[in-house]
A and B are shown apart, each in its own frame.
Chain A
Amino acid sequence: MISLAGRDIMHAWGKFLFTGLGLGLLIGVTLSMAGIYRGMVDDAMALLDNSGADLWVVQKDTLGPYAEPSSLNDDLYRGLLGMPGVAGAANVTYLTMQVRRDGSDVRALVVGVVAGGPGEPGQPRQLVAGRQITRNHYEAVADLASGFKLGERLQIRRHQYTVVGLTKRMVSSSGDPMIFIPLRDAQEAQFLKDNDAIVQQRRRTGQNPGFNRPGVPGLLEAVIAAQSSNSSVNAVLVRVKPGHSGEEVAEPIRRWKRVQVYTRQQMEGILIGKLIATSARQIAMFLVILSVVSATIVAFIIYTMTMGKIREIAVLKLIGTRNRTIGGMILQQALALGTIGFVVGKIVATFWAPYFPKYVLLLPGDAVRGFVVVMVICTLASGLAIRAALKVDPAEAIGG
C-alpha cells in the first residue's frame, strides 16, 4: 500500500510548507515563552550560585535580600564567624537602581561587597576580564550585560567609579545586570542622604541647642558623625565548612533574636515560589493561549483541506478503502503539519533567542515535551476533519 497522506502532501507541498511555516512561527513563540521561564529560573539559580553563600542571614521576619528589604547591623558577621561550622561570613548590600553612564543610564543591581580575595562570599566569582575590587572605594566590577567596558567610569549617586573587572551572566532575579562596588560605598549609596539633605540635617543639628552646647566642645561633631555614618547591611552571606550541612550550621543561629537564616534550598524556594511565581503564571497563561491558537489553526487547515477532498474520499470509499485508512491519511497529514511546524519553530526559537534582552534558556527536555504537545494537539485537531470524512457517504460518488 502506498502512503496516501504522503502523496497528498507531495502534491500540495507548497500549501503544506506555507501553513507549516506559519504554524512554526507560532510554535517558535511558544518555545521561546518556555525558554523565558527557564531563563528566569536559571538566572535565579545563577544569582544564588554566584553569591557563593551556603546560608543567608537576614533581618527577622523578612524573606531575605532578593525578595524583601532587610536590614542588619554590619558587625553581626563577627558573631557569625564564631559559630561552629562557619567558614566565612561577609556583609553584603543589594540595591536596584539606575546607574548613570555619561548622559544615559542603565538599570542595574548594585551589590556592595567586602573587598577581598576571590572565594569570599558575595564577591563576583569569575571575571571574564580585568580584576576583582581591591580598594575600599570607587572601584566597580560590572556585568557585560550592563554594557560597561573596562576602564569606563560610571556614577552611582554622588560618586564616580572605575570599572576594573567584568563578569558574565551575573544578573538579578529580574534580569538586571549586577554592578559590584565596595561595601562602604554601597552602604553610603543605599542608606545615606544626598548632599542637600546632609547640609540641611547638619544645619538643623547645629541649630539644636541640645547638641550645640557652648560648654561641651566636640559634642556637635560627634553627633553629626554618628548621624552620617551608617552601619546597616542587607544580609550576611555565610559559607559553611566542608563536612557540615547548611541546616546543621543554621540551627543554632536560628535561636538568635533578631535574625532569620535561610539555607540554599529555602532561598531557591523563595526565588522560584515567590519572586518569579507571578511571571511563571503569566507565561503559563500565554502557553495555554498559544496552544489553543495552534490547535485552532491546525484544525481549521486540516478541516478545509479535507473538505476540499470530499469527492475523492467518497470515491475512495466506494472502491473499498477502509475508514481506518482514510482517517489515518488525515491524521498523518495533521501530524506532518505539526512536525514541519515544530521543526520551523525550534529553528526560529534558537535563532532569535540571543536577541531577547533577558536570558532565554531552551532546554532539550522542553523541546521534547513541546513536540509531544504539538503531536497531541494535531491529533485532537484532526478529529473534526476525520469525523467529517467518516460521515461521507460512498453513494455520493455515484451522484443523483
Chain B
Amino acid sequence: MAEPMSSGIRIEGLRKVYGQGDTAVEALKGVEMVVAPGEVVGLVGPSGSGKSTLLKCLGAVIEPSGGRMILGDEVIYDEGWRIGDLRALRRDKIGFVFQAPYLIPFLNVTDNVALPPMLAGVANREARRRALELFAALDIGHRAQAMPSQLSGGEQQRVSIARALVNRPPVILADEPTAPLDSERALSVIRILNQMAQQYQTAVIVVTHDEKIIPTFKRIYHIRDGRTHEEAGEGRLLA
C-alpha cells in the first residue's frame, strides 16, 4: 500500500496573481516547498498571506500564474497545466480535509467515505470495504452506519480524514482541520494524520493558525507576503 516511489509534493517558484492591471493582487510570489512521502508539514502565516491560495493551486481548483508543481511522480503544473482532467486528478491524487468536516448529510458514515472510490468507478461493495478498513484505525468503526448529524465534532472530523484517505492519494491538503476542536481532540486529529501519513506514505500539508498543534510539526513553512520560509519545528507529538 505504501508508495515508496512517490516524491510527495514539490513546489518550485509558484506564483499566483489575482485580477489584472491596477487591481491585480500578487498573492504568491515564488513559493518553494518540498514535502516528503509520509511527512506532515505545517503551513502558517498571517491572514492574507496566501495560505488558502496555495492550497487551491495545489488542489487544482484555481490556476497558478507561473512555476511548477509536482504531486507524487507527476508534474501537474509547469507554466501551465500538464494534466487534462483536473477533476480526476483531485479525485485520485489529492485528499482534502477542511476546517469543518463537510460530510454529505444524506449519506451515512460508510457511504460518505466510500463515495470517492465509487466516483472513481469502484464497485459499491469494494468501495465500502475500503471505507470500513480505514474505520478501525480511525476508531469510528462503531459509528459506520450512523448519519453525520449523529456524530460528535471530533468523530465527524475523523470521518472526513477517512474520506480524504480512502483513494490512497499521495497528497493530503488540510485547511485548518483542528480549528473547531478542543486541544485534546485537535492533537488526536494531528496524531491520526501523522499515523496515516506514515502508514500510506502520504505527503500532508496542514494549514493552521492553531497554537495547540504548531509544536507537533517537525517542519514548518512560514508564508509571509506570498513567499515561504522553511523552519524546523519542535516535532512534539505526545502519544
Contact = CB atoms under 8 A, between A and B. Distances in A.
Given A1-B124, A322-B87, A397 B102 contact: yes
B17 to A, nearest CB: 16
A282 interface: no
Interface in B81-104: 87-88, 90-92, 96, 98-99, 102, 104
A226 interface: no
Interface residues of A, number: 26
A393 B147 CA distance: 26
A316 interface: yes
Contact of A398 (B52, B106, B147): B52
Contacts of A311: 102
Contacts of B42: none
Interface stretch (B56-64, B210-218, B224-232): B56-64
Interface stretch (B29-37, B69-77, B113-121, B193-201): B113-121
A398 B124 contact: no
B119 A321 contact: yes
Given A7-B111, A312-B105, A320-B90, A397 B120 contact: no
A319 B115 contact: yes
A320 B96 contact: no
B98 A397 contact: yes
Contacts of B147: 11
Contact of B96 (A12, A397, A400): A397
A8 B147 CA distance: 12
Interface in A313-332: 315-322, 325
B55 interface: yes
B12 to A, nearest CB: 22
Nearest to A10: B106
A1 B111 CA distance: 10
Contact of A399 (B98, B116, B124): B98
A395 interface: yes
B107 interface: yes
Instruction: Name the prevailing secondary structure of the A interface residues.
Output: helix
B61 A398 contact: yes
A394 interface: yes
A8 B106 CA distance: 5
Given A8-B106, A11-B106, A398-B55, A393 B116 contact: no
A2 interface: yes
Contacts of B88: 320
Nearest to A311: B102
B216 to A, nearest CB: 22
B16 interface: no
A7 B106 contact: yes
Contact of A318 (B52, B61, B104): B61
A318 B61 CA distance: 8
Nearest to B176: A399
Interface string A377-400: 000000000000000011101111
Contacts of A1: 118-119, 124
Nearest to A317: B87
A395 B55 CA distance: 10
A398 B56 contact: yes
B163 interface: yes
A1 B90 CA distance: 18
A319 B120 contact: no
Interface in B159-207: 163, 175
A73 B195 CA distance: 108
A320 B52 CA distance: 19
Contacts of B52: 398-400
A193 to B, nearest CB: 78
Contact of B61 (A7, A321, A395): A395
B125 to A, nearest CB: 12
B124 A319 contact: no
A7 B107 contact: yes
Nearest to B128: A2
B104 A315 contact: yes
A319 B99 contact: no
Contacts of B55: 398
Nearest to B104: A312
A320 B98 contact: no
A399 B207 CA distance: 12
Given A398-B52, A400-B52, A319 B163 contact: yes
A318 B106 contact: no
A320 B175 contact: no
Contacts of A320: 87-88, 90-92, 116, 119-120
16 contacts: A2-B118, A7-B111, A311-B102, A312-B102, A317-B87, A318-B61, A320-B90, A320-B92, A320-B120, A393-B61, A395-B56, A395-B61, A397-B96, A398-B98, A399-B52, A399-B99
Given A11-B106, A398-B175, A399-B99, 13 more contacts: A1-B118, A1-B119, A1-B124, A2-B111, A4-B107, A7-B107, A10-B106, A11-B105, A319-B115, A320-B88, A325-B119, A398-B56, A400-B52
Interface of B: 52, 55-56, 59, 61-62, 87-88, 90-92, 96, 98-99, 102, 104-107, 111, 115-116, 118-120, 124, 147, 163, 175
Interface of A: 1-2, 4, 7-8, 10-12, 311-312, 315-322, 325, 393-395, 397-400
6 A-B pairs closest in CB distance: A320-B91, A11-B106, A395-B61, A8-B106, A315-B102, A7-B106
